[in-house]
Structure 1
Amino acid sequence: MKKENRIITSKYNKYTFFFVNMYHQLSKPSNLFFLLTMVLLTIPQISPFNPYTYLLAFSLVTGTSMIKDGIEDYKRHKEDKIVNMKIINVAYIEDKMIYSKEIHAEDIKQGDFVILKPEEEIPGDCVLLLSKIKEKCKGYCFVDTSNLDGESNLKKKTSHTVKDCLQNCAESRSDQMSYDFCQCEYDLLENVKNSTVKDTGDVFNKFECTLTTQDREFLCNERNILLRGMKLKNVDSALVYIVAVGGQTKLGKSNVMPRKGTSLFEMELTKIVMIIFVIYFVLLCSTAILGSLFLRKNNLQYLYLGTYLSSDALKLTGTNYIMFSYLIPLSLFVTLEVSRMFHALYISHDENLERDGIKSVCRNSNVTEDLGMIEYILSDKTGTLTKNKMVFKKIHVLGSEEIIDVSELKFNFSNIDEISDLIKFSNVKDEVYRNFFLTFLLLCCNSVEPLNGKLEGISQDEICILQKLEANGIQLLRREEDFLLLKIGNINIKCNIEYILDFSSSRQRMSVIVKFLDKIFMFSKGSDQMMLDEKKINVKILNRESVSKIVNKNSSYRTLICAYREITNEELINLKNDLESVNLEDHEEKEDFFFKKLEKNLEYIGTTFIEDELQDEVKETIEMLKEAGIKIWMITGDKKETALSCAIDSGLMTNLRDNSVISIEGRRVDEELRNPNILSYKSVIIYRSTPKQKSQIALILRNFKKNTLAIGDGNNDVPMLLTSHVGVGILGKEGNQAGISADFAVPDFRSLKYLIFIHGRYNFIRFSKVTLNGLYKNIYLIIIQYLYNFYTGFSGKPVYNNFFLNYYNVLFTSLIPATICCFDKDLPEDYLLRNPREYKSTTSFFCKSVIFLGIIYGIIQGLVVFLLVLGVFFIKDLVRRDGKVAGYNGMNNLMSLIVFFSVFLGQIRLISFYTIYSYVAIFLSLLLLFLTLFVIQDTSLGGNMWILMSIPSAYFTFLFIMLFTYISELCLSKIFYKLVNKKEIN
């Protein structure tokens, strides 16, 4: 039976692992090519040597990747098992008695009644029915949502259903000692029948469902829903009704696996491999054509045992296919893959990327080298460039010409009559407006409530406002679903809550209707863009121009415009009737419509100014990035003035007249960014943008072929992070979804300088060195074999012995590149941080001219070395003391030694930073070569390598050719660094 709530993040099981993983391995074109080569090696008529050594090499390549995948998948299996086998208590009715039983979390179904305990992680999306505190039934509970959004403030959840059944709680309906059920719980289990969930996507703060009981339906939203992954807090227990399990939960829908897409470097590498394939097929086709012509010329088929020339030509083509297959770098892909694992560990354990115990995480090791290729950075503002640590600084109150510093506020009432007079506005003075405004703020911060002596809530703005008010003697003592208990001075006041319409990005405001001292008020607060626009919300302001001027003058602050109006009891009754008629399908639009009727003719009362400080070292980091040639675009949902003020403070622009920077409104992004001239600006400030527009901006830059990194901390930044080449999420107050979805998760913006200038630069140069070396050494190897084919009449005979040929890539010349890929550093870290300009030269190590130079050098060196060795054997073969010549086997072994040592010495010169592993790799490379050629191979070939070593002229030939390769590589190095420096200057 299928278990709908089972979590499966693994890719394989023990029965499918080998077959499915092998399918994935062979889906890579390079591995498929290697498999075809191995199959041809099993055909004796074609293969120039036995297939066992190549089989071992192929097994090393695929086996390494398979072991890595297996280890990673085993970890996922263990994590899945911990979650799925967790014990959950389920309640049910049998013989008119309530019982509970223990089941595994994976066995939970939609429609189950679950009993939650404190600190327990919620196993599915569910509706809160009731909670218990000290054996008394309550209609609310608190949850910790940090697993979902990273926010540390507790959230309150309320129940619709418990209001109808809070009675007879002391009467037990169970004979179980472990948990005492009451009449309320019995009634709920009897009455609740089913639920219908509306698909609202994977957004955590939006949920809609209908809970059906025997006599009515309840419309439930995010206030009544406990999502999978939350933790129950501050109650003794809670009874919930499961409405969604498994992949239908919000967590299941929003799970974003680390991206496994092709990295920028891999795309460049793919282009190079395609060039190599072109060279490969040119060599193969030319050999096949010329070989066939050679067989037909002068009737030379007597040299071959075959009866038909066409058959012989086909066999020779197959043989050459195998010989030239070594042109494709078999081991390079494994070296890069394994080194990425090391790079991910370096990032996770870098102390420079750790803040207050928060460590950085690499979630996608496939893009570690792409950090060295960044041209553009797209940055969010709030929580990324700023701390998202709000400080309530100033207010402007109706009747005042200037803004007031909050620290100067004095708020004292001695009796209830003063507050009553305040509400009636019987004595209108500036102080009266100010006191009313502060009371207004206390009433309209509806997302916050006191809990265990601390203010908890979603909105950082509202928390900082209430904290400042509390310091001035105005305090929120208690918040329930339908009332507030306030303390103003020494006076406690109860205020009834009639309706709340929460803030939304589309409305850009929130409104609350309250009964306060026998009067009914609607209080609204929202963005200045919405509240000061006469066409949208007609807020009555005596001097609108003066208020707008004050807001614009203090644009560096986050502003909230506050307004109110008194409504009649008839208007309230009409609103109640209208809202009761709303159905599930269109309730959001209808609520907005009905509230808009009451929000007309609001009266301005004041404005709050809240400061959001810059992150530590933001300005210094941005200066370094700009010096490195990286262009930074800031994208925010804030208004233009706030965005430009932050840009100036952070160093993105010098002043408002800076012509090198342009500001664009979010709604004009599509038309403005299509113009390629936009790329000429040093920075771009985009304000009033939506999450979708952030993603569009990243996509436009990708279409311009610009390597882009995006950094952000909120759920609204996730589309941008996923669209960019590299996504960096900040583990901040706005949420953790950005950190989960991104390739890298870091604690703050300044971590970018370590991530890009250190890890990015090192990794890209490491990969560049190893890839170019792999390209050169294989072309060098095969060009000699290709030329030898001409010399031997296209016989398909290898110029190297089979042991050397099979292990050349896998063992002999792969160890030093592996240490370079993992440990090499061309310059000290502190020097790179002091000189960000060095980052500009990073991509020069892998530019087209350098790649072309490597290919040409491999071809020329192979040609010269072959001619020199051929000249020695053609003019005068290497002669032993007994008068016998070294012959084919002598040339075979000498060529193997020359090719190895010329490549080996070149690899040593690539090492910039020696570690113990570098010396071990050098020693093992030599040891493996000598063991193979002098011991393993020589045993099978009758001592040919020792015979070669007994010929004095062999040493002279070897040293002369090695001297030539050394001098030529020195010349190549000079040309290489000239190209690098030229590109850096450009």
Structure 2
Amino acid sequence: MNIDVIWCVIILIILCVIGAVGCKMWLKSFEGMQIPFLPFEVNPSYEGLLTFWTFVIILQIMIPLSLYVTIELCKILQVYHIHNNVDLYDAQTNKRSECRAMNITEELGQVQYIFSDKTGTLTENKMVFRRCTVNGIDYNHPPSELEKQYLKPGSPVPPVIANPTLFEDMTATLGDRITYTSSAQRIQEFLLVLAICNTVVVSATPHRDLMNASGVIEDDQGTVTIVRPNESIANDQRAQGSTLSDRYTRLAESRSITPSPPPNTSLKQHVPSLSPIHSSPEASPVSESPTKVHRQIPVSPTVRAKSIITCKINAISSVLRNKNSSRSNLENRSQISPLRNQLLQQSPTNGRPIFEAESPDELALVNAAYTYDSCLINRSPNHVLVNTPGGGVTEFEVLKVLPFDSSRKCQSVIVRRNGTQEIILYTKGADSSVMACLTPCSPDSVEGHLREKTQQQLDHYARQGLRVLVMAKRVLTPMEFVDWLSRHKECEMTMENREKKVRESFVNIEKNLTLLGATGIEDRLQDGVPEALSSLLLAGIVIWVLTGDKPETAINVAYSAKLFNPQMELLRLTARSRDAAETSIMFYLNEIERSLVDGPSGSRAKARALVVDGKTLTFILDLRSNLTKPFLRLTKHCASVLCCRSTPLQKAFLVKVVKEELQMRTLAIGDGANDVSMIQMADVGVGISGQEGMQAVMASDFTLSRFRLLENLLLVHGLWCYDRLARMILYFFYKNATFVFLIFWYQLFCGFSGAVMIDQMYLMLYNLVFTSLPPLAIGVYDKFVPEDLLFSRPQLYRYGRLGKAYKPHTFWLIMLESLYQSLVIFFIAEAAYWDTDIGIWQFGATIATSSLITMLLQCAIEIKSWTILHVLSIAISLGAFYVFSIFYNSVCVSCLGLPSSYWVIQTSMSTSSYWLISLLTAILAVLPNYTIRTFVATIWPDGGTKAILQKRRNERREPLIMGISIRL
């Protein structure tokens, strides 16, 4: 559009130059004689220069300045309707769509590439602990009937049903019935990693996010329960754990004065994490004010801290004892069903802790550990309190937290059990990272067989679509830890390449690990995702799914989501070197090009899908490898692409290269903080308001609650918005150009003097009032294809994806049409009034009326779906013209210093020639356009026209009439 506006400026300059030259030539024709209508001598060149600027003023309507205002108004109304559309409202989550960008609605109808995250975007992000492997044994946790109660979006994560075999193996002892077997100790340590290697905190009350999808902080209507410790309970508990309570008393006192957690700790580690799990009978709810002033009975900080911690320990220990007593009464597996029911009934009201996690994965692992009596009781920046199956309540000193990052793909914590000098590093992360960091061993050794079996089980988990994590540990000597810590602090203090050096320091300590076990977590697909992806693929949109999962897991999910189908040819890039990556890419490219030469029709019918793993992606995106362009050439032959083990920066870079190298319009959709860079890089960013905070939502242009709503947003609203704006802009160019040409033709009869036959008030109100509503009706409410047809025929989206509504040549066709219609309007009126004594204002009133009726008829031809609003826009425009004209010509004899047009319109309306000219010119002006449109729609109907005609035949239940099929 901006290029066409430049062309409008050029056309305006050309018309002004022609007018200036015409004025000069007209005046020069009187050279040597007295000009009868000029009492003084004139300089033709000087007058021509002045006339140039006169034409700039009277023809400036050629530059559609009001078009920009109309476009913005249309977009605001489009955003309003998208925001309030009931089809984009999700009743289960009680969330509706949010439009955070007001100026890109038309780009929703032109998307060519979609880049999507998987976890939380295509899936529920409700992680369910499904399988684990320890000591090479697979422990399954199959779905239960009670899990159906948790399928509704927004419901809590279903509890884990305990595996009795794992309980037996976890508590297996030697002959002395005191010492656990090595396998049992490994299981217990595996569960300990699940409980402490995370950022989970224990809360007294469930967390409620106060920020909505619009980024507005809502008022907190929740209540906070303040515990008033029972003195008798507190006195009984002081004797049981004085040492432990004193330590946490000092911690509570210090935090109450200077709450400054280290950078690696979560912001959720605040004082409420030290609050009791449940309230005592004397508890009373108090509204939480912004200043967080809590009412409580006077009690010393020491006594209060002791009571809080011991109350929490006893509450959780009581729950665990009840669970253990229930299990001890079960001697065979036939009695497991009552146990399951009892475990499911554990809730915060009866002592079960409330875990709050930054990631649903961590929450699933901590809940699984709790099921097997490895319960996280409390967490502070420097200490972790855990109830372990073999050791009861145990306190660990946190020496260092190694947070997760996308390069290492793992997270670690270095702890020391209180009362011992043993320092242990616990790690959990992706199998590709952790398995490579294990202590080297012989494949024939016991440890080697264990790793091989574990890897086989991990591959099996991945093929089932489960997200896999591996747990490992390393025992450090005090000297090793002190030496590493000193070097690590130097890395943290450096000013150059700090992040890289810190990451390398983490890698140096996360090696020579011992395998503990692995987990498989299920993340179900959201409802409607397969159907939405199928429709988007049928619409011709290329879909890339960028995930951090294993290739096997991602491929399984891709088939389940119908991103891949069995008829697709699956291409895989899994190289371990730059040369291998280049060889694979060139091999596939040569095969595809050969198939195009041998059998082009069959090869086009064969859809392809591409799978790229993380290491290959690293080689491809390395600018020194020169593999980016060959890779993009390969992806152009694929309907969908799956990138596995991708990092946030890789996601953003992929969007960038596709947008810049392929010149494609891109859309990125995600739900987490790791998707922000990708969302911001794309032309259109869509955020899913899910489980992982509001970062993606705040960075996005549009917000949805479920992925399936993207189908409606793009295929319906996006296509409508694009088509509406395209036709509205072209109509604006048409009506402005027609009006300018009418004024220009009059210059042939007034010596290019810059005189105008239309009253100045009409000129001012032409765009503002008389022709403002019909473009708005087209730009906001017109539907070129009904909604149901857009859903049933996603292929119609190619109309917007290929930009068919607004091609570069369309502007020039509009200019030719304006030129023709202006000739018809002006010269028919000029011929009708030839050799009469009609005045200039009466002639101008006829021209203004004819042009307005013609433009309204042209608008009627453009309208695809008539509603009462379209009818009113045309009726009000025509009515406003006549009401204003009659009033203005009746009362304004010499208004505003303008020439008098008193009673002009009344005189014109009283003659038959006025009505005949107005109607005849309007019909003749639009007749060619209407005829051509009818002919094209009959002989070469587009997809939308075919769909509408087919729908009408089906509604009338008429047989399909064979038409003429012409193939060029």
TM-score band, normalised by shorter chain? 0.5 to 0.7
The answer for unaligned runs of 5 or more in structure 1 is 1-268, 878-884
Report the secondary structure of 1:560's partner residue.
Answer: strand
What letter corresponds to residue 125 of structure 2 in structure 1? N
User: Counterparts of 1:437 and 1:658 in 2: how far apart (Å)?
Assistant: 37
What letter corresponds to residue 603 of structure 1 in structure 2? T
**Counterpart position of 1:956:** 916
User: Counterparts of 1:692 and 1:420 in 2: how far apart (Å)?
Assistant: 55
Which shifted more, 305-314 or 575-584?
575-584
The Cα offsets for residues 656-713 of structure 1, whole Å up to 9 and x where unpaired, read as 8435122334313434442452323211222333323222222222222211111111
Structure 1 residue 690 and structure 2 residue 647: aligned?
Answer: yes
Asked if the contact 1:803/1:932 (under 8 Å) is kept, the reply is no
User: Counterparts of 1:752 and 1:902 in 2: how far apart (Å)?
Assistant: 40
Structure 1 residue 845 and structure 2 residue 805: aligned?
Answer: yes
Distance 1:575 1:314, change over 3 A: closer
User: Counterparts of 1:967 and 1:734 in 2: how far apart (Å)?
Assistant: 59
The Cα shift of 1:370 comes to 1.4
Asked if the contact 1:669/1:693 (under 8 Å) is kept, the reply is no
Asked if the contact 1:635/1:694 (under 8 Å) is kept, the reply is yes
The Cα offsets for residues 844-894 of structure 1, whole Å up to 9 and x where unpaired, read as 2222343332221111121233232222233x53xxxxxxx3243332221
Residue correspondence of structure 1 range 578-657 to structure 2 within 5 A: 584-585=493-494, 598-655=509-566, 657=569
User: Counterparts of 1:577 and 1:958 in 2: how far apart (Å)?
Assistant: 92
Distance 1:578 1:318, change over 3 A: closer
User: Counterparts of 2:921 and 2:189 in 1: how far apart (Å)?
Assistant: 94
**Counterpart position of 2:291:** none
Residue correspondence of structure 1 range 206-217 to structure 2 within 5 A: none
User: Counterparts of 1:419 and 1:721 in 2: how far apart (Å)?
Assistant: 56
User: Counterparts of 1:913 and 1:533 in 2: how far apart (Å)?
Assistant: 63
**Counterpart position of 1:475:** 375
User: Counterparts of 2:425 and 2:515 in 1: how far apart (Å)?
Assistant: 12
What letter corresponds to residue 475 of structure 1 in structure 2? C
User: Counterparts of 2:428 and 2:398 in 1: how far apart (Å)?
Assistant: 17
Asked if the contact 2:685/2:701 (under 8 Å) is kept, the reply is yes
Report the secondary structure of 2:96's partner residue.
Answer: coil
What letter corresponds to residue 737 of structure 1 in structure 2? Q
User: Counterparts of 2:854 and 2:500 in 1: how far apart (Å)?
Assistant: 75
The Cα shift of 1:974 comes to 3.2
Report the secondary structure of 2:565's partner residue.
Answer: coil
The Cα shift of 1:574 comes to 5.0
User: Counterparts of 2:872 and 2:199 in 1: how far apart (Å)?
Assistant: 65
User: Counterparts of 1:604 and 1:816 in 2: how far apart (Å)?
Assistant: 71
**Counterpart position of 2:363:** 463
Residue correspondence of structure 1 range 667-682 to structure 2 within 5 A: 667-670=618-621, 671-675=626-630, 677=633, 678-682=635-639
Report the secondary structure of 2:570's partner residue.
Answer: coil
The Cα offsets for residues 881-923 of structure 1, whole Å up to 9 and x where unpaired, read as xxxx324333222111111111122223333444444344333
**Counterpart position of 1:377:** 114
The Cα shift of 1:332 comes to 2.0
**Counterpart position of 1:357:** 94
Distance 1:317 1:926, change over 3 A: same
**Counterpart position of 2:403:** 502
The Cα shift of 1:960 comes to 2.4
User: Counterparts of 1:631 and 1:301 in 2: how far apart (Å)?
Assistant: 74
The Cα offsets for residues 54-97 of structure 1, whole Å up to 9 and x where unpaired, read as xxxxxxxxxxxxxxxxxxxxxxxxxxxxxxxxxxxxxxxxxxxx
Residue 928 of structure 1: which of 880, 883, 886 is its match?
880
Structure 1 residue 770 and structure 2 residue 728: aligned?
Answer: yes
Residue 662 of structure 1: which of 598, 610, 613 is its match?
610
Residue correspondence of structure 1 range 338-353 to structure 2 within 5 A: 338-353=73-88
User: Counterparts of 2:439 and 2:831 in 1: how far apart (Å)?
Assistant: 92
User: Counterparts of 2:794 and 2:705 in 1: how far apart (Å)?
Assistant: 22
Structure 1 residue 286 and structure 2 residue 30: aligned?
Answer: no
Asked if the contact 1:413/1:488 (under 8 Å) is kept, the reply is no
Asked if the contact 1:531/1:538 (under 8 Å) is kept, the reply is no
Residue 898 of structure 1: which of 839, 850, 855 is its match?
850
Residue 871 of structure 1: which of 822, 825, 831 is its match?
831
User: Counterparts of 1:763 and 1:711 in 2: how far apart (Å)?
Assistant: 20
User: Counterparts of 2:170 and 2:808 in 1: how far apart (Å)?
Assistant: 82
User: Counterparts of 1:952 and 1:400 in 2: how far apart (Å)?
Assistant: 99
The Cα shift of 1:416 comes to 10
Task: Report the aligned-residue RMSD.
Answer: 3.3
Asked if the contact 1:631/1:682 (under 8 Å) is kept, the reply is yes
Structure 1 residue 967 and structure 2 residue 918: aligned?
Answer: no
Distance 1:868 1:744, change over 3 A: same
**Counterpart position of 1:947:** 907
The Cα shift of 1:270 comes to 0.8
User: Counterparts of 1:479 and 1:698 in 2: how far apart (Å)?
Assistant: 40
Asked if the contact 1:411/1:435 (under 8 Å) is kept, the reply is no
**Counterpart position of 1:211:** none
**Counterpart position of 2:693:** 735
**Counterpart position of 1:444:** 197
The Cα shift of 1:454 comes to 0.6
The Cα shift of 1:774 comes to 0.9
Query: When the two structures are aligned, how many residues end up with a matched partner?
Result: 707
Residue 454 of structure 2: which of 525, 547, 553 is its match?
547
Asked if the contact 1:399/1:433 (under 8 Å) is kept, the reply is no
Asked if the contact 1:521/1:564 (under 8 Å) is kept, the reply is yes
What letter corresponds to residue 459 of structure 2 in structure 1? N
Residue correspondence of structure 1 range 716-795 to structure 2 within 5 A: 716-795=674-753
The Cα shift of 1:361 comes to 1.2
Distance 1:412 1:815, change over 3 A: closer
The share of aligned pairs that are identical, in percent, is 27
The Cα shift of 1:589 comes to 6.7
**Counterpart position of 1:57:** none
Query: Normalising by the residue count of structure 1, what TM-score does the alignment of the two structures yield?
Result: 0.66
The answer for unaligned runs of 5 or more in structure 2 is 143-160, 205-276, 278-352, 572-607, 894-900, 947-967
The Cα shift of 1:403 comes to 7.2
Larger fraction in strand:
1
User: Counterparts of 1:292 and 1:743 in 2: how far apart (Å)?
Assistant: 55
Asked if the contact 1:385/1:614 (under 8 Å) is kept, the reply is yes
Residue 5 of structure 2: which of 240, 261, 273 is its match?
273
**Counterpart position of 1:62:** none
Distance 1:409 1:512, change over 3 A: farther
Report the secondary structure of 1:554's partner residue.
Answer: helix
Distance 1:317 1:479, change over 3 A: closer
Distance 1:424 1:848, change over 3 A: farther
User: Counterparts of 2:177 and 2:86 in 1: how far apart (Å)?
Assistant: 56
**Counterpart position of 2:68:** 333
What letter corresponds to residue 319 of structure 1 in structure 2? T
**Counterpart position of 2:429:** 526
Report the secondary structure of 1:633's partner residue.
Answer: strand
Residue correspondence of structure 1 range 247-326 to structure 2 within 5 A: 269-297=1-29, 299=31, 302-303=35-36, 305=38, 306-326=41-61
User: Counterparts of 1:946 and 1:415 in 2: how far apart (Å)?
Assistant: 101
Report the secondary structure of 2:678's partner residue.
Answer: helix
Residue 907 of structure 1: which of 859, 862, 866 is its match?
859
The Cα offsets for residues 210-252 of structure 1, whole Å up to 9 and x where unpaired, read as xxxxxxxxxxxxxxxxxxxxxxxxxxxxxxxxxxxxxxxxxxx
Query: Normalising by the residue count of structure 2, what TM-score does the alignment of the two structures yield?
Result: 0.67
User: Counterparts of 2:668 and 2:858 in 1: how far apart (Å)?
Assistant: 38
What letter corresponds to residue 911 of structure 2 in structure 1? I
The Cα shift of 1:554 comes to 2.5
What letter corresponds to residue 285 of structure 1 in structure 2? V
What letter corresponds to residue 901 of structure 1 in structure 2? I
Residue 475 of structure 2: which of 548, 561, 566 is its match?
566
Distance 1:274 1:489, change over 3 A: same
Distance 1:314 1:629, change over 3 A: same
Distance 1:573 1:739, change over 3 A: closer
Asked if the contact 2:115/2:666 (under 8 Å) is kept, the reply is yes
